[in-house]
């Protein structure tokens, strides 16, 4: 028998969630809507699995989970949220929780997740693998860096060794405008000179 405590401040969610376990033989669920009572409950009657809502007034599910773990280290904490669960993958990596469940998933998925958690497994969407992969290669933009037409032209002239005034004449702008555009490009590419900008632009294939 798996004893489950559902912690949520919304009575309607509590009732709906509790009903999920009505006809399940190996599971029994209780509810608690006041997070402040949790330490007392955990000490008096510890549960096997805690399904905790994240957004609660005055506190949040992560902190409540941490409190429970400190009182009952073997407890299984599953965050049960209406938010996108992808946002909380980091908590799994940091071993702060044992599972994540969206409030909109099916009954079957909820039961499966609880059982797996009790067995020491994790059930998560495939997107978790993307998240873990990205941890090793941060800051990779999904889209390649692109310059606008004017910036491209200016950089091409820079590569050819034109001065600002010459570039301004070529593309019918004031030298001041060219200067400002170039300084934007320097800032974008984190460089300080024309040569560096030209080299970097070629390296990043920003110009042909």
Partner 1 sequence: MATTLIPLRSFITLLTLYIAVGSYVLYISYSSPIIGIEVVKQDDRLVIEHFEYPDWAELHEISKGDILIAIDDFSPYKLEHVAPDGIVRSAKTLTVMDATGNNKEIIVLYHELPKAFSHFFILPLIYFLLILSLAIYLYKQKSGNVASLNILIYFLLTVSLAYCSVGASTQLHPVGSIVNSTCLILCLVLLIHFLQKYFAFLRIPWRFNKNIWILYLITVCVFLVSMIEIFNSAFFTLNTIIILLLFVALIFYILIILATSYTRDRSIQLQILFWFIVLPFLPFVIFYVLPELLFQQTILSPSTCAISLLCIPFTFTFMQVTERLFDVDYYVSRIRYYVLFAGGMTVWLMIGIDSFLSISILTNIGIALFIFISIFVLLCVKEKIDYVYRKVLFSTNGNNIHFLYSIIDKVGKEIKMEDLFNTLSDQLMKQLEMNTVYVIHYDMETEQISLANAQSEENRHQLQLTPKDLHQLQVGSIKKFQTFYVACLHRNIKTKYFLILRTNSKIHLKKEELLWLELLLHYIDNFVENTQLVEDLMFELKQAKEGQNYPAWLHKLCWLQLEEVKSQLGQELHDTILQEQIFLIRELDNLLYERDRNLVQQRILQIHQQLITINVQLRLYCEQLKPPLLQTLGLEAALTKLFNQTEQRAHFTLMHSIEPLLIDDNEMSLLIYRLIQEMLNNAITHSKATYVKIELRALSQGFHLFYMDNGVGCHLEDLCLSGTMGIIGMKERVAAYKGTMVIDSYPNEGMQFDITVNKGG
Interface residues with partner 1 (CB under 8 A) are 54-55, 60-62, 82-83, 87-88, 90-91, 104, 139, 141-148, 150-151, 177, 180-181, 184, 187-188
88 or 124: CB nearest partner 1: 88
Residue 80 CB, nearest distance to partner 1 (Å)? 14
36 or 121: CB nearest partner 1: 36
Indicate the burial class of 30 (C-beta count within 10 angstroms; 0-12, 13-18, 19 or more).
middle
Residue 45 CB, nearest distance to partner 1 (Å)? 27
25 or 172: CB nearest partner 1: 172
Residue indicated by tokens 């490009």: 185
Phi–psi pair at 52, nearest 5 degrees: -120, 130
d(CA 189, CA 204): 10
Tokens representing 59 are 């506190």
Residue 153 CB, nearest distance to partner 1 (Å)? 13
141 or 193: CB nearest partner 1: 141
2 or 197: CB nearest partner 1: 197
Determine the 3-state secondary structure of 176 from DSSP: helix
d(CA 45, CA 36): 15
Q: Please, are residues 110 and 20 in contact by the beta-carbon 8 Å criterion?
A: yes
DSSP for residue 105: S
Residue 122 CB, nearest distance to partner 1 (Å)? 19
Residue 205 CB, nearest distance to partner 1 (Å)? 13
Determine the 3-state secondary structure of 189 from DSSP: helix
d(CA 44, CA 52): 18
28 or 184: CB nearest partner 1: 184
Q: Please, are residues 98 and 76 in contact by the beta-carbon 8 Å criterion?
A: yes
Residue 90 CB, nearest distance to partner 1 (Å)? 7
């Amino acid at each position: 028998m798996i004893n489950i405590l559902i912690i949520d401040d919304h009575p309607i969610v509590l009732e709906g969630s509790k009903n999920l376990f009505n006809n399940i033989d190996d599971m029994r669920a209780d509810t608690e809507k006041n997070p402040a009572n949790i330490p007392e409950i955990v000490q008096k009657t510890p549960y096997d699995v805690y399904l905790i809502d994240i957004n609660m007034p005055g506190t949040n599910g992560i902190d409540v989970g941490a409190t429970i773990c400190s009182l009952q280290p073997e407890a299984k904490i599953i965050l049960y949220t209406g938010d996108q669960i992808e946002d909380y993958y980091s908590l799994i990596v940091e071993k702060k929780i044992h599972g994540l469940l969206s409030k909109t998933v099916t009954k079957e998925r909820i039961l499966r997740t609880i059982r797996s958690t009790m067995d020491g497994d994790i059930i998560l969407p495939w997107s978790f693998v993307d998240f873990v992969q990205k941890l090793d290669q941060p800051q990779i933009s999904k889209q390649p860096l692109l310059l606008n037409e004017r910036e491209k032209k200016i950089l091409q002239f820079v590569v050819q060794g034109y001065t600002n005034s010459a570039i301004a004449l070529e593309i019918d702008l004031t030298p001041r405008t060219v200067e400002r555009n170039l300084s934007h490009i320097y800032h974008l590419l984190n460089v300080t000179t024309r040569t560096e900008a030209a080299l970097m632009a070629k390296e990043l294939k920003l110009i042909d």
